[in-house]
Amino acid sequence: MSEAGNAIELDGLTKSFPGVRAVDGLTFAVRRGEIFGLVGPDGAGKTTTMRMLAGVLAPDEGSATVAGFDLSRDAKRAKHRISYMPQRFGLYEELTVDENIRFYADLFGVPRQERDARAVELLRAAGMSEFRSRLAGKLSGGMKQKLGLVCALIHTPEVILLDEPTNGVDPVSRRDFWRILYTLLDQGVTILTTTAYLDEAERCHRVALLHEGRMLFCDTPANLKDSLPGAVLSIVCAEPRPVRDLLAGVEGISTAMIVGDGLHLVVHDPGRMIPELRDRIAAAGLSCDAIEQVAPSIEDLFVEAVQGQGAREDGDRGTQRGER
């Protein structure tokens, strides 16, 4: 039974392909009127999950309810309440912006007067009002994505499913895209989006971190960052890779990853580690501009979770080999 406050519910959703379990028992709920992010690298199961929620792909196990409809029984009826924007949205490049909008409005049976008013509103929000007669094929990548979103919203859906909508989009268009999403919340739209950009997780009300088809965490960005088991140190250095290799395996360092022009380390005792790290780096003849404790990010948590899981699995395999 779907709860009244949830727009999307998954219970043990599972999907396998030859040689791989793409989605492994996902269970979570998306509340009405929130932006919920599925975050993870390629191969995490994000696209497969979205395709099942859109009714394009049937699960092997488990169930899903979207906009009040059980997809195993009412997938066709649910599609009128849902809008699904896949990674490669089906714009017709030989049609103009207006013609693409009219095409998608006709697919959903949107009356002309309603369509025209909605198009004006959405194009204004997307900053595309002056491009209505331009061919879609002549638009920039960012503008194509914004047009895709306009087409996906033309029938005023209750739930919108966005699969990596800002992948490969320039920073300005990414910002505009998210601004449009926030305006949709005032209209009661529920948004489920996937992204490989971990900084975009900060923009969601709640996020689920996925890895190899499984959910590692699900919570608000603030709570997730608070749950990081340790402190984050930032090392600014000209050669981050040799410094990372130098510090690999040092006791007290949980994970180390290259971020921009330096490193982020997850450590258990930052007060003790900072002077020790300076000494180690200097003794190796490497340079270091600064070492300081910084606020954790979603990326720090994700890397810690994945590397920590890998270390535990390696330990378990070692224990099993020892038992034999």
Sorted by where each starts, the structural domains of the chain and their CATH numbers stand as: 6-225 (3.40.50.300), 227-323 (3.30.70.100)
Average pLDDT over residues 210-221: 94
Best mean pLDDT range from 27-36, 66-75, 175-184, 221-230 = 27-36
Going by C-alpha positions, the residue among 253, 194, 191, 139 that lies closest to residue 34 is 191
**pLDDT above 90 (res 108):** no
Write out pLDDT tens, residues 273-299.
999 999 999 999 999 999 999 999 888
Write out pLDDT tens, residues 36-52.
999 988 899 999 999 99
> Please, are residues 247 and 296 in contact by the beta-carbon 8 Å criterion?
no
Confidence band for 199, pLDDT divided at 50, 70 and 90: confident
Average pLDDT over residues 138-147: 89
Question: Tokens 């949830």 correspond to what residue?
Answer: 6
Alpha helices in the chain, H assignment, sequence order: 46-53, 71-78, 97-107, 112-126, 141-153, 171-185, 221-226, 240-247, 270-283, 298-323
In one-letter notation, the amino acid at residue 130 is E
Write out pLDDT tens, residues 2-25.
456 899 999 999 999 999 999 999
